[in-house]
């Protein structure tokens, strides 16, 4: 990349800054209207109960669609849903080259949905430690430890300075390339764009080795069947469990499609070397229960995952009961607490012992704790720190750590803010409009276009449809018909709502002079009658629609 006249180096987050998940970062270099853009990650959030019907929240890439021909490519740091899950839905709008590691590529190719066909996507595979060009950008991948294989941080070199984009990372074992970070720090780092997920945690965390030791002890002491629920992508954790089970003469049985699919890919890529073949479900009853370890999905309480089905006794002969143990080798993602607790209570009622990270060291985060963040600052010695990957509280806590460590400039980014990193004084220079985009069935759009806001209101106040039949002189030509959806049928005094509505509607029409019976006048009058009566009856304002028919 060559230094150009009037060039700026910009950072624009379109997701993952001010929220957990849905990570998408954009870097821009060049003069205004001639900038070359580089995208890092393209993830999703999972929609909660406050967004009825939608299952995913996606980044708003309207800005990128307008810059499509100036985008060099998309680099994926790893294959977690919050970093690559939006690719099948958003890539067709941009159709830029994708750069990723082998494990990420394998999972992406396994995720063909709709018209998205990864065989047609220009996938460029790199390994940790390799350097490559994305358009004019010089990018170097740096191997880091995380809870999924092939995770990398990125060094992005430009004529105005080097940026380190950490992605998700932690300091654990030998995976994080400390020496490379130190070397980059010695060369000079303009900006560190860094994971803030654990910035509020006071703990220094445990190592993955400690978790493996704890899980092995649980397996060794168990007198019944042990089930362990973890994220399907945590291949290192699963491998540790499988090795421990083999050492103790136990067999591992996989439950859950995503678990089986991910481990099949991991095996193909050589991540499961030395692991004994997993047990087939049809062989489960042939082995003593104390010799079986169940590895299953559903640690977040997903209703159709293997763990929820096991709690409902919907897995045939595979069951948990008195004397068995269920280990949650995972963290609770915010918003999933109630669903997880419901499953735990169901299994406790069946006599199962539940073990979580509150009880024993059965899980360690894949993100940096404050002591790790400070270590990263010392390694790379950045001039600018930009906290990302977190809600406002995480970002502010991370910023405080950076200031305490003496970093010259700490910038508060948020989705849609355009930050100039160089030249001159770094800071926010603009704000682009942002929407929330949802995947709802086969469609994508905002709340208004998908009808989500109306759907939410319907869930609280119900819906009344009134069908009226008039003759040529606006006399009632047939009975008034009602459809009541989601409303109470009878009140504390024994009155039926539908009867009250029918009587009130007929009276309102009969008391209206025929010369005043125009469609819009009748609709307005009947809507007012229905709304008032329902409010008096129920205390809520329902949604009312009037259908007019003429003979």
- Asked which of 104-108, 201-205, 265-269, 420-424 is least confident by mean pLDDT, the reply is 201-205
Give residue for tokens 């269920």.
326
CB 112 within 8 A of CB 136: no
At 143, is the pLDDT very low, low, confident or very high (cuts 50, 70, 90)?
very high
State whether residue 367 is helix, strand or coil.
Answer: coil
Q: Indicate the burial class of 24 (C-beta count within 10 angstroms; 0-12, 13-18, 19 or more).
A: buried
What pLDDT is stored for residue 116 in this prediction? 62
Strand 71-75: give its sheet, edge to edge. 123-125, 98-100, 71-75, 36-40, 24-30, 8-15, 417-422, 427-431
Hey, what are 462's tokens? 């119900």
pLDDT digits (tens, 9 = 90+) for 252-301: 999 999 999 999 999 999 999 889 999 988 888 888 999 999 999 999 98
What pLDDT is stored for residue 283 in this prediction? 85
Question: How far is Cα 355 from Cα 218, in angstroms, rounded to an integer?
Answer: 10
Q: How many CB atoms lie within 10 A of CB 13?
A: 25
Give residue for tokens 């009880």.
359
Residue 173 has pLDDT above 80, yes or no: no
pTM of the model: 0.90
How many residues does the structure list for the chain?
A: 551
What pLDDT is stored for residue 114 in this prediction? 52
- Region 383-406 average pLDDT: 97
What pLDDT is stored for residue 115 in this prediction? 53
Hey, what are 449's tokens? 């276009």
What pLDDT is stored for residue 316 in this prediction? 86
- Region 352-368 average pLDDT: 93
Residue 112 has pLDDT above 80, yes or no: no
State whether residue 237 is helix, strand or coil.
Answer: helix
Highest mean pLDDT among 108-112, 199-203, 536-540: 536-540
What pLDDT is stored for residue 110 in this prediction? 82
- Region 540-546 average pLDDT: 95
Rg (CA), the chain: 29
Mean pLDDT of the chain: 92
Residue 322 has pLDDT above 70, yes or no: yes
> What percent of the chain has a predicted confidence (pLDDT) above 70?
98
Q: Where are the alpha helices (DSSP H) in 133-177?
A: none
CB 80 within 8 A of CB 233: yes
Question: How far is Cα 421 from Cα 8, in angstroms, rounded to an integer?
Answer: 8
Residue 119 has pLDDT above 90, yes or no: no
Q: Indicate the burial class of 235 (C-beta count within 10 angstroms; 0-12, 13-18, 19 or more).
A: buried
What pLDDT is stored for residue 47 in this prediction? 83
* SS3 per residue for 118-135: HHHCCEEECCCCCEEEEC
| Phi, psi dihedral angles at 240 (to 5 degrees) | -60, -40
Q: Indicate the burial class of 406 (C-beta count within 10 angstroms; 0-12, 13-18, 19 or more).
A: exposed
- Region 467-481 average pLDDT: 90
């Amino acid at each position: 990349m060559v230094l150009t006249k009037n060039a700026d180096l910009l950072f624009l987050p379109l997701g993952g800054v001010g929220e957990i998940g849905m990570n998408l970062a954009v870097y821009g270099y060049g003069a205004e209207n001639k900038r070359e853009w580089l995208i890092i990650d393209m993830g999703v959030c999972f929609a909660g109960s406050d967004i009825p019907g939608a299952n995913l929240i996606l980044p708003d890439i309207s800005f990128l669609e307008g810059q499509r021909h100036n985008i060099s490519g998309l680099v994926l740091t790893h294959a977690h849903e919050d970093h690559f899950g939006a690719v099948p839905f958003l890539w067709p709008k941009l159709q830029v080259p994708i750069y990723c590691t082998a494990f990420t590529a394998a999972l992406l190719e396994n995720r063909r949905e709709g018209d998205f066909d990864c065989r047609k996507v220009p996938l460029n595979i790199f390994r940790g430690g390799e350097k490559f060009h994305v358009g004019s950008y010089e990018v170097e991948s740096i191997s880091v430890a995380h809870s999924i294989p092939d995770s990398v941080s990125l060094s992005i070199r430009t004529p105005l300075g080097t940026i380190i984009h950490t992605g998700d990372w932690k300091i654990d074992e030998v995976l994080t390339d400390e020496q490379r970070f130190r070397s980059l720090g010695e060369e000079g780092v303009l900006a560190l764009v860094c994971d803030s997920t654990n910035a509020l945690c006071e703990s220094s965390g445990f190592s993955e080795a400690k978790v493996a030791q704890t899980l092995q002890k649980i397996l060794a002491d168990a007198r019944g069947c042990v089930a362990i629920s973890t994220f399907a992508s945590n291949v290192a954790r699963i491998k540790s469990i499988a090795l421990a089970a083999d050492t103790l003469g136990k067999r591992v049985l996989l439950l859950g499609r995503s678990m089986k699919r991910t481990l099949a890919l991991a095996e193909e890529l050589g991540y499961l070397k030395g692991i004994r073949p997993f047990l087939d479900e049809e062989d489960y009853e042939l082995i003593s229960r104390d010799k079986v370890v169940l590895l299953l999905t559903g640690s977040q309480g997903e209703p159709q995952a293997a763990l929820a089905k096991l709690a409902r006794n919907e897995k045939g002969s595979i069951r948990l009961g008195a004397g068995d143990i269920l280990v949650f080798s995972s963290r609770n993602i915010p918003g999933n607490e109630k669903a997880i607790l419901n499953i735990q209570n169901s299994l406790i009622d069946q006599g199962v012992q539940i073990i979580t990270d509150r009880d024993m060291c059965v899980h360690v985060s894949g993100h940096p704790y404050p002591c790790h963040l400070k270590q990263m600052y010392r390694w790379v010695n950045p001039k600018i720190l930009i906290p990302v990957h977190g809600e406002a509280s995480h970002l502010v806590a991370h910023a405080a750590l950076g200031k305490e460590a003496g970093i010259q400039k700490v910038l508060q980014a948020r989705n849609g803010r355009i930050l100039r990193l160089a030249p001159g004084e770094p800071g926010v220079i603009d704000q682009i409009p942002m929407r929330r985009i949802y995947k709802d069935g086969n469609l994508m759009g905002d709340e208004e276009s998908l009808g989500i806001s109306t759907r939410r209101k319907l869930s609280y106040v119900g819906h009344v449809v009134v069908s009226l039949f008039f003759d040529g002189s606006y006399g009632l030509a047939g009975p008034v018909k009602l459809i009541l959806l989601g409303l109470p049928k009878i009140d504390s005094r024994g009155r039926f709502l539908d009867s009250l509505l029918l009587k009130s509607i007929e009276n309102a029409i009969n008391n209206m002079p025929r010369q005043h019976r125009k469609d819009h006048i009748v609709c307005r009058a009947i809507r007012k009658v229905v709304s008032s009566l329902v409010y008096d009856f129920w205390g809520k304002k329902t949604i009312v629609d009037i259908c007019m028919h003429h003979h």
